[in-house]
A and B are shown apart, each in its own frame.
Chain A
Amino acid sequence: MSIELEKQIQELQKKVESLEKGTKDQLSMVVFSGDLDKILAAMIISTGATAMDTKVKLFFTFWAISALRDPKKKAKGKNFMEKMFGMMLPRGMRKIKLSKMNMAGMGTSMIKGIMKKHKVASIEELFAIAAELGVEINICEMSMNLMGFKKEEMIDYPNLKICGVATFLADASESKIQLFI
C-alpha cells in the first residue's frame, strides 16, 4: 500500500472516530405530558428503540411525573400545599387520563378495553418491558418539588434517577434523536 493511501485511511479513521463520539446511537426524550395517550406513545417509542439497539434516556418532567407515583407508597413531611397537590394529581399510571375524549373517565376505560382487544401492551406492561430492556428514567427534581412529590413515593424502577436540566441537555447533545412529548 502506498504511503499516501495509508495516510488517507488514517485521516478517515480519525474522522469516523470523532463523528462517533459526537452523537451516539441514543434517544433522549422529554416526557412532559401527564396524559395516558402521550405517555403510551413515549413508552412504545422507547421500547421499540431498545429493540433497535438504541439506548434510551427519558426525562420525566411536570405533569408526566404523576405517572411515576406508586399508589402504595406514602411520603412523610409534606406541607399543606404539597398535600393538596398530591390529592389533586393522579396517583400513578393507572389513574392518568386520555388527552382527548376522556368523557369523565369513560373514554379512558373504553380505550383500555380496546387496547386489550387489540393486544396492545398496557401502560403497566410497557413500563415493565422498558425496565427489562434498560430504558433509563430520569426525573426532573425542580418540577418534582413543585408538584410536592418526594422520591420515596415514586415507582420501583431500576436506576430511577433524580436530576436537573443539565443532565437532559448533556444526554440530548450526544443523542441522535431528541423528542419532546
Chain B
Amino acid sequence: MTSEELKNLKADKIVDARGTACPGPLLAAKKAIAEVSSGGIMEVLSSDEGTKNDIPKWCQKMNYDYLGVAEEDSYIRLFLKKA
C-alpha cells in the first residue's frame, strides 16, 4: 500500500508506543493485538527507528499481514492486519 492509502486507513486499534525504546513498541503491540479480532487492522505509533524493521519481522513470525509504514515528522505509523 502507498503511504497515502495507509494514512486514510481506519485502524480498529491504535497503539501509541511513542517515547518507548526497544523492546517497548514490540511489547505494546503484542499486548494490544489480543484486543483485535481476526481481519482487524492495527496501527502502531513509534518514535523508535528500529520498530520500522521490527514490526514486519514480528508480523512474519506471528502470521499477520504487514501492510506498510507511513512516516510523520517525528514518528512512524505501522499498519498490520490480523489474519
The residues of A with any CB-CB pair to B shorter than 8 Å are: 44, 47-48, 50-53, 118-121, 129, 133
Contact = CB atoms under 8 A, between A and B. Distances in A.
Most buried by A among B23, B29, B62: B23
B20 interface: yes
Interface residues of B, number: 13
Most buried by B among A47, A51, A52: A51
Given A47-B27, A129-B27, A52 B61 contact: yes
Given A44-B22, A52-B30, 13 more contacts: A44-B23, A47-B27, A48-B26, A48-B27, A51-B29, A51-B30, A51-B58, A52-B26, A52-B58, A52-B61, A118-B21, A121-B21, A133-B27
B40 interface: no
Given A51-B58, A52-B62, A53-B61, A121 B26 contact: no
B19 interface: yes
Interface in B23-37: 23-24, 26-27, 29-30
